[in-house]
Amino acid sequence: MTELKGGALLEARQVVVRFGGLEAVGGLDMAVARGAIHGLIGPNGAGKTTVLNVLTGFIRPTAGRLVFDGEEIGGLNVNGFARRGLARTFQNIRLFGAMTVLESVLVGAHQRFSASAPALIFGGRAARTAERAMIARAHELLDFVGLRHDIADRVATTLSYGHQRRVEIARALMSSPKLLLLDEPLAGMNAVEKQEIAELVRQVRAQGIAVLLIEHDMQIVRSLCDHLTVLEYGKLLADGAPERVLSDPAVQAAYLGRAR
Amino acid sequence: MDYFGQLLANGLVLGAIYALTAVAFTLVYGVVRLVNFAFGELFMLGAFLTTSLMLPEVRLFGTVVPMPGFPLPIAALGAIVITGVIGVVVDRIAYRPLRNAPRLAPLITSIAVSVVLQSLAQTAWGAEELRFPQFYLATLPPVVLFDSIYLSVMDLVVMATAIVAMLGLSLFIARSSLGRAMRASAEDQTAAMLVGIPVNRVVAAAFAIGSGFAALAGLLYAQTYGFAHSSMGFLPGLKALTAAVLGGIGSIPGAALGGLILGLVEALGAGYLPNGTAWKDAISFVLLVGLLYLRPQGLLGRPELNSAGRGSLLGGASEAGAFWLRAVFARVDALLARFAAAGAPAALGLLAIAIVVGTLVPSDYWLRILTMVVIYGMLASGLNVIVGFAGLLDLGFVAFWAVGSYLTSILFVLVLKESYGVAPQEVWWLLYLNLPLGGLLAAGLAVLLGTPTLRLRGDYLAIMTLGFGEIVRVVAINWMDLTRGPMGIRGIPAPNLFGISLGSPRAQFFFALALAAVVVFAVARLVRSYVGRAWVAIREDEEAAEAMGVPTARYKLYAYAASGFVGGFVGVFYAHSQQYISPLNFSLFENILLLMLVVLGGLGTFIGPFVGALIWIVFLQLALDLPFVQAYPETRFALLGVVLIVLMVFRPQGLAASARVGLTMPGARAKEAA
Amino acid sequence: MTHSGPIIHPTGLIERPVEPLLKVSGLSVSYGRIRAVDAVDLAVEPGRIVSLVGSNGAGKTTTLMALSGLLPLAAGRIVFAGEDITGLAPELRVSHGIAHVPERRRVFAGMSVRENLALGAYSRGDATEIAGDIERLTQLFPILGKRMHQAAGTLSGGEQQMLAIARGLMSRPQLLIMDEPTMGLAPQMIDLILDTVLEIRKLGTTVLLVEQNAIEAMRLSDHVYIMRLGRIVHEDSGANIDTERVKAFYMGVDA
């Protein structure tokens, strides 16, 4: 597993995360292929969200390297990760309160704006054109995630949970990422909503964007993911195709425990 | 050596007092993570109550009331108990409802509580100093150490009391069941509840003990310096907070250490630095700012205290309050919202109304008042950029205002008129140059001051900006050559255009109105773009903003710069409009007032700062017609404080909350709709 | 306690149907717009070990937090030892006889083991017997006896878990709620903790257990509830429960 072929979009090599004396992630190697839907699974407390936080720059690993699209990204700030093309959503949806759907989604395009303060104040033509283009793009993406246009001016946090999840995904897509990282995108949804979001994830992949997701519903994971990485105690337990990984006795034991 | 020894002794006495007050801050912060600014006022109450209880009679609310004339120990005990009870009541009314609110809310409430207590104390005891009565111990001859260091018996009593009280408290926290429960609640409130600790009662106990300590410190201070006064708690309160932060807030040994260090540094600094006594207040704050920059957790503290919860004031629409109260708020809100929804036409309409009013109002008196409304509205708009849009509590905003005012005053009066003999009307155009220049200078200062605060969040950010504001004020007072110190600068020329004086109240009003239009227009343009979206995103969820590619540090600095620019810009006009400035114009209280105006009107709105300024300044004048207010003008500030507490508890989003501003460029949306 | 105490049988077996110690009906909990727990009914009979089993996000921890008063109910009723405790403050539930050993242990890290244990008895009036109880608990957890004056934060994960359990027992509860007591622990330690659960029942304390180690939890429980998406989808006695069915729930195979 340490040797990786050049095809990987994102590679983590020997990543270690320690909190005080506790080792949350221990020497993890993993690779997300271009165009893949990659599942990151494991029992509670296995370190999945920690790994996702490492992969998005939220946690700087104690040791190890991160290579994204051929570039070393380990030393960047969180916004640097976003600027390189890693966009994420959060386990507990984190939309900006008091912002409308359109405004929230536009924040995702932050790096595409460049007008200076005088240009903004005195109304530069370029500034206006950029704003218009991004608003148009935001509407396209709202369409893409399955939200109706009349929702654009509603305050995002007043929407239903499922809609908020979609707004969050649209916001992440607004930065035109190469990799979308979703932390439990299906949590708290009913079976129908889960299938809808799963379908949306497939459409994202169809746009050429790779997806890494944490999910607990194995039924969905089985049908949605091309590749699974299983963690236990912060270490790699299994890695490979879903059917093979999920029937692995070690993986089953990680979830269900072992009979004594 | 003699001199040093004497300074050392003075420093120890002062340090003991700071340490006792710092314990109050630290204890409450440790248990509920709240910086209770009001401890300075509880300190003052301790002093007043003790003094009153020791006297045979006291003038309260203008009438002579007979008092018991207790000896010091009994009076002190009584004062400590009463202050403790007041502390608990304050917690119950003003803080407990906000336990789960965003961090900014209780912080602002505690500032409001400060204002209320101080104004009430002034109402009760009057604006004069109340002399601390003579008593037996104070008449004893001083103890002389090493033939040269003079310590009064009471100095020794102060030190001994502080040591005993702090050891006693440490023992209580370490050994008693309630003390253990306090430590448990401080570590993990949920776990504390799960083992059966009534956390609310534990918090109340922390407030009672903390308030008692503040009272004890206050009465010792009053005894040492011989007086009690309604504003006496303000600076020692800030110093004690500094001491608590210095030692590591949340740690009792830290508070003792911080108090001691601060007392000694101040005493020695005052003794040895050139012109030290004048600069001693700045020493503490420089120490504070330096420490927060290098080691935010304090000497003995833990880093996790430098944190803030997510979400802004606007997020938490409160469901609390009586039905009629909510109905009133809803009515006001709907009115303002409808108005704000109209956007630019409404703004132009408002401008038109202001012009009509400015043309028709016959009285110069009222024109001057309306000019103040516009000035305060503009200043509050500047503060609103940083607090309301970017969500960073800034208690040092007045510094930017001061920079603009001093820049133009120094240029016009001290340099041109007095050094070169240039008459102001010959260089009337300089004012128009100074406006942007003052803005830029203040913006530069804002970035300079903002940079070290980038690592800080929440309470620590507020404390550090407060430190900066105080430093600038102390500099303004003491850099005599540059600022003329407390005398201020007189004879600043009124605004002038092509040699025509705009000094009349009506002309000034229109001048202010024109500037306000510029300020609102510029701020609105910035806010309604990707810059404003980045600010609001930072306010609402800094981490998520960063994850969306917003370089949050840079955008915080932009917010400081924009806020500073407005402060400096308005400051230039302010100086010419008042024609006289002094450091008193730029006190922390002014900053607090501006903050209250923004909160009153609605954080993060364009109209809110002006609504707040209008309500407050007009009220300030109208209330003067009431006989009661004529007798006790300071009760108006108490009322403002009460209104603010009510707002924070029942309506943290402010009066004009639904006047939520759009964050997309107006033109860009219009095109899309077409 | 004025109400009738639990019926304790030395072997933990109960021969006749008895009033449940804890009876939950229609319990619902929402986080904002998400209903995390939806109309859950539970009955825990005295002297038993009852398990709540289900994959991550099924609502187990939320249910437990609602039972100990940490989360407000959207609907439902909680009756404990014949008394309605639905609206009771968390600290009062402790004095009524419910102790909750929370997820991730949450010991008071800066305080000594002894202080943690003493805090466990905070709700009790009888200060004199606390020392004796600490003594007895060190027999159950000998390692804690050796660490009595050490700060809890310096203990290993397994030792912290034992401390959390012991702290819960210090209130002399009728019902001990345990949330994921083996999470993140090494296999031998897991065995030790699960053995302790059986010991606790022997001492006469009823246990409501949430445990990720589902196979083992089902084996040692008298009764098992299976949760999925905030609802109880299946229940049976520990001996009869169909482990294959549970496996299907966990691994996403259609059952």
pLDDT tens figures, B63-95 = 999 999 999 999 999 999 999 999 999 999 999
User: Which residues are CB-neighbours of B433 under 8 A, at least 6 positions away?
Assistant: none
**Minimal CA separation from C115 to chain A, in Å:** 23
Domain end (from A124, A144, A176):
A176
pLDDT at A3 over 50: no
Contact yes or no for A106 and B314 at CB 8 A? no
Which amino acid, residue A131? E
A149: which 2 tokens? 């246009």
| One domain for residues B584 and B450 | yes
| One domain for residues B603 and B653 | yes
pLDDT band at B657 (very low <50, low <70, confident <90, very high): low
Whole-number pLDDT of residue A204: 97
B579 domain-assigned: yes
Alpha-carbon distance B429 to A122, whole Å?
23
Determine which helix (DSSP H) or strand (DSSP E) holds C94, and give its type and residue range.
helix C90-96
Counted residue by residue, chain B has a size of 674
B523 domain-assigned: yes
**Chain A residue nearest residue C54, CA to CA:** A256
Please compute the mean of the pLDDT values over residues C76-91 and round it to a whole number: 96
| One domain for residues B423 and B532 | yes
* B588 closest CA partner among B488, B477, B481: B477
pLDDT band at C242 (very low <50, low <70, confident <90, very high): confident
Alpha-carbon distance B596 to B641, whole Å?
8
pLDDT tens figures, B533-570 = 999 999 989 999 999 999 999 999 999 999 999 999 99
- C254 neighbourhood in chain A, CB within 8 Å: 219
**Chain C residue nearest residue A44, CA to CA:** C56
B320 domain-assigned: no
> Hey, of B529, B557, B565, B569, which one would you mutate to test binding to chain A, going by the most A CBs within 10 A of its CB?
B529
Question: Can you tell me the ipTM of this complex?
Answer: 0.95
% of chain C beyond a pLDDT of 90: 73
Report in angstroms the alpha-carbon separations of A53 from A11, A88, A91, A182, A183: 14, 10, 11, 11, 10
| One domain for residues A103 and A120 | yes
Range of the domain at A113: 98-176
A91 domain-assigned: no
Q: How many A-C residue pairs are in contact by the CB < 8 A criterion?
A: 71
Region of residue B310 (phi > 0: left; psi between -120 and 50: alpha; otherwise: beta): beta
Please compute the mean of the pLDDT values over residues A224-252 and round it to a whole number: 94
B318 domain-assigned: no
Contact yes or no for B529 and A82 at CB 8 A? no
DSSP β-bridge partners for residue B64: B59
- A177 neighbourhood in chain B, CB within 8 Å: none
| One domain for residues B359 and B420 | yes
How many independent structural domains does chain B possess? 2
Q: A43 and chain C: CB distance < 8 Å anywhere?
A: yes
3-state secondary structure of A115: coil
| One domain for residues A168 and A204 | no
pLDDT at B382 over 60: yes
- C120 neighbourhood in chain B, CB within 8 Å: 195
Average per-residue pLDDT for chain B: 89
Interface of C with B (CB under 8 A): 68-70, 89-92, 94-95, 99-100, 102, 106-111, 115, 118-120, 122-123, 127, 167-168, 170-171
DSSP β-bridge partners for residue B497: B500
pLDDT tens figures, B473-523 = 888 888 888 889 889 999 999 998 988 889 899 999 999 999 999 999 999
| One domain for residues A187 and A197 | yes
| One domain for residues A166 and A186 | no
φ, ψ at B149 (rounded to 5°): -95, 120
Which amino acid, residue B362? P
Entry pTM: 0.91
User: Which of C102, C110, C122 lies nearest to residue B181, judging by beta carbons?
Assistant: C122
CATH assignment of the domain containing A194: 3.40.50.300
pLDDT at A4 over 70: no
pLDDT tens figures, B585-599 = 998 889 989 999 998
**Chain A residue nearest residue B525, CA to CA:** A121
A90 domain-assigned: no
Determine which helix (DSSP H) or strand (DSSP E) holds A230, and give its type and residue range.
strand A227-232
* A174 closest CA partner among A204, A151, A195: A204
pLDDT tens figures, A117-162 = 999 999 888 999 999 999 999 999 999 999 988 899 998 988 988 9
Domains, chain C, with CATH or none? 46-69+89-250 (3.40.50.300)
Q: A96 and chain B: CB distance < 8 Å anywhere?
A: yes
A19 domain-assigned: yes
B376 domain-assigned: yes
Task: Write out residues 30-59 of C within 8 Å (CB-CB) of A.
Answer: 31-34, 36, 55-57
How many independent structural domains does chain A possess? 2
| One domain for residues A134 and A74 | no
B184 domain-assigned: yes
pLDDT at A88 over 70: yes
For residue B174, how many other CB atoms are within 10 A of its CB? 12
A92 domain-assigned: no
Q: C185 and chain A: CB distance < 8 Å anywhere?
A: no
B325 domain-assigned: no
B314 domain-assigned: no
pLDDT tens figures, B344-370 = 778 888 899 999 998 898 899 999 999
- C187 neighbourhood in chain A, CB within 8 Å: 258
Catalogue the E-assigned strands of C134-204: 175-179
**Minimal CA separation from C12 to chain B, in Å:** 26
Please compute the mean of the pLDDT values over residues B396-412 and round it to a whole number: 95
Name the DSSP letter for residue C11.
Answer: T
- C212 neighbourhood in chain A, CB within 8 Å: 43-44, 255, 257
DSSP string, B90-134: HIIIIIGGGTTS-THHHHHHHHHHHHHHHHHHHHHH-SSPEEPPP
**Minimal CA separation from C250 to chain A, in Å:** 7
Please compute the mean of the pLDDT values over residues C147-152 and round it to a whole number: 95
Report in angstroms the alpha-carbon separations of B435 from B403, B407, B440, B574, C52: 11, 10, 9, 10, 69
User: Which residues are CB-neighbours of B18 under 8 A, at least 6 positions away?
Assistant: B217, B236, B239, B240, B243, B258, B259, B260, B262, B263
Whole-number pLDDT of residue B499: 83
Please compute the mean of the pLDDT values over residues A185-202 and round it to a whole number: 91
pLDDT tens figures, C102-116 = 999 999 999 999 999
| One domain for residues A166 and A187 | no
Whole-number pLDDT of residue B514: 96
pLDDT band at B299 (very low <50, low <70, confident <90, very high): confident
Tell me which chains share at least 3 CB pairs under 8 Å with chain A.
B, C
**Minimal CA separation from C131 to chain A, in Å:** 32
A106 domain-assigned: yes
Q: Cα dihedral angle (B381, B382, B383, B388), rounded to 10 degrees?
A: 60
- B304 neighbourhood in chain A, CB within 8 Å: none
Q: Could you give the angle at which helices B72-90 and B39-54 cross, rounded to 10 degrees?
A: 150
Q: A119 and chain B: CB distance < 8 Å anywhere?
A: no
A123 domain-assigned: yes
Q: C108 and chain A: CB distance < 8 Å anywhere?
A: no
| One domain for residues A155 and A138 | yes
pLDDT band at A187 (very low <50, low <70, confident <90, very high): confident
Contact yes or no for C247 and A161 at CB 8 A? no
Task: Mean pLDDT check: name the lowest of A79-83, B13-17, B330-334, B642-646.
Answer: B330-334
Whole-number pLDDT of residue B147: 77
| One domain for residues B531 and B602 | yes
φ, ψ at C151 (rounded to 5°): -70, 135
**Chain C residue nearest residue B193, CA to CA:** C91
* C165 closest CA partner among C113, C240, C218, C93: C113
| One domain for residues A127 and A197 | no
Q: A124 and chain B: CB distance < 8 Å anywhere?
A: no
Q: Is B41 exposed, middle or buried (0-12, 13-18, 19+ CB in 10 A)?
A: buried
| One domain for residues B174 and B289 | yes
For residue A116, how many other CB atoms are within 10 A of its CB? 12
Q: C248 and chain A: CB distance < 8 Å anywhere?
A: no
Contact yes or no for A94 and B525 at CB 8 A? no
3-state secondary structure of B486: helix
- Cβ proximity of B99 and B189 under 8 Å: no
Range of the domain at B515: 330-673
| One domain for residues B352 and B296 | no
Report in angstroms the alpha-carbon separations of B193 from B187, C88, C91: 12, 12, 5
Domain end (from A176, A196, A218):
A176
Domain end (from B247, B269, B304):
B304
| One domain for residues B430 and B534 | yes
Task: Mean pLDDT check: name the lowest of A48-57, A74-83, A128-137, B311-320.
Answer: B311-320
CATH assignment of the domain containing B471: 1.10.3470
B448: which 2 tokens? 């300079």
| One domain for residues B57 and B193 | yes
Alpha-carbon distance B293 to C157, whole Å?
35
B509: which 2 tokens? 């009003």
